[in-house]
Structure formats: C-alpha cells, structure tokens
Amino acid sequence: MRRPDQLRRQAALAASASVAFALLVAFLAFLAFGREGRLGFVGFNLAGLVEGIVFLAAFVTALGWVRSALRLPSPTLLSFGLVAPPTARRVAERVPLVDSAAALQTLADHRVVIVQEAGVPIGVSGVRRERITSWDELVKVPGDIAVTDLRRPLSHEQLVVVVDGEKVVGVVTQEAFLAGLWGPVR
C-alpha cells in the first residue's frame, strides 16, 4: 500500500516518461517524413499534422501502459502528481468504541461500532447483524496510505479498519469508498 507522496512521485515520473516516449516517437515520424513536418509549426502541412497525431497516439498509449502497470489513479497521473488522493485517515468514518456490554444499545444509534473489553478492541459489530466480527478477521490498514489503495481490500471485505499503531482512527466501508469515487470525500 502506498502513501499519497509516493503516488505523486510515481505519477510525475510516469507522466514525464510518457511525454518523453511520445516525443521520441514523434521525432522518429519527423525523420521518416524527411524533416518536413515540424508538427505543423513552420507552415500548415500534412506531415506536421501526422506528426501531431502520432505524438498524441503515443502519449495516450504510454499513459495507458503506465497507469495499468503502476495502478495509478487517473487524476494523479494526468496532473503529473499535482493531485493526489487523500489518506485513509482523512476519509475514515469515526465510529464509537464501546464496551461489550453496551454494544447493542450503541448499535441502535450507529451502523457500526468497535467493541472493546478492558480498553482493547475485540471486534466490530454492525458488519453482520447476527454476531460480532472478531478483531483478527478484520482488515486493518495504516492511516497514512492513499485511499485509492483500499480498492483491493474493499473488493473482498465490507469495511477496513484504519489504525495508527494501536489507536483506532475509524473505518472505511465499501459504500463510503464507492461514494467517494463519484462525489466529495470529506
């Protein structure tokens, strides 16, 4: 799992490499046309337009390759790393930490609660109504990772618990993750 600053660096390098690749391919097209085109800047000419189209096709193809190889979010890649996804800590929904005896009363007011005994988390209630999901069964992620890297764990689990060391920050649910892709994330 990657942090947003790591995604920024990867996106800046990948987008720059894509531009360099596209310029190289356009230069090869320039040489193939007998140095006539110059991307159409000297005068309106067919060779220049073809070079421009070759540049765009090579750039889009290279962006597709690096995006799939590095699993980069499109906005981060297309902005050369200027836009990065938020951290899991920032989008995690705060959930109450309750003693096991008070879990049912608190669950009536909240969809998900973290159940603890003697200050130590033992599970989550609300994921499956019929039982408390054991703390060992839950996916736990550090708070400083990029929220886009939660896609894999959330494709198999209903929620992930965001932690900072031993401290519970909150949870990110499948529903909140998908809503964040299409709307604002707190």
Its pTM surpasses 0.95: no
Question: Is residue 73 within 8 Å of residue 90, measured between CB atoms?
Answer: no
- For residue 135, the one-letter residue type is W
d(Cα 97, Cα 186) in Å, to the nearest integer? 21
Element containing residue 22 per DSSP (H, E): helix 4-32
Verify that 105 and 171 share a domain, yes or no: yes
Tens-digit pLDDT profile for residues 58-77: 999 999 999 999 988 888 88
**Range ranked top by mean pLDDT from 38-47, 58-67, 84-93, 144-153:** 58-67
Confirm whether 83 is domain-assigned: no
Residues 66 and 124 in one domain: no
- Do 95 and 176 belong together in one domain? yes
Q: Dig out the tokens for 108 from the structure.
A: 């009536």
Crossing angle of helices 46-70 and 4-32, in 10° steps, is 150
Name the phi and psi angles at 13, rounded to 5. -70, -45
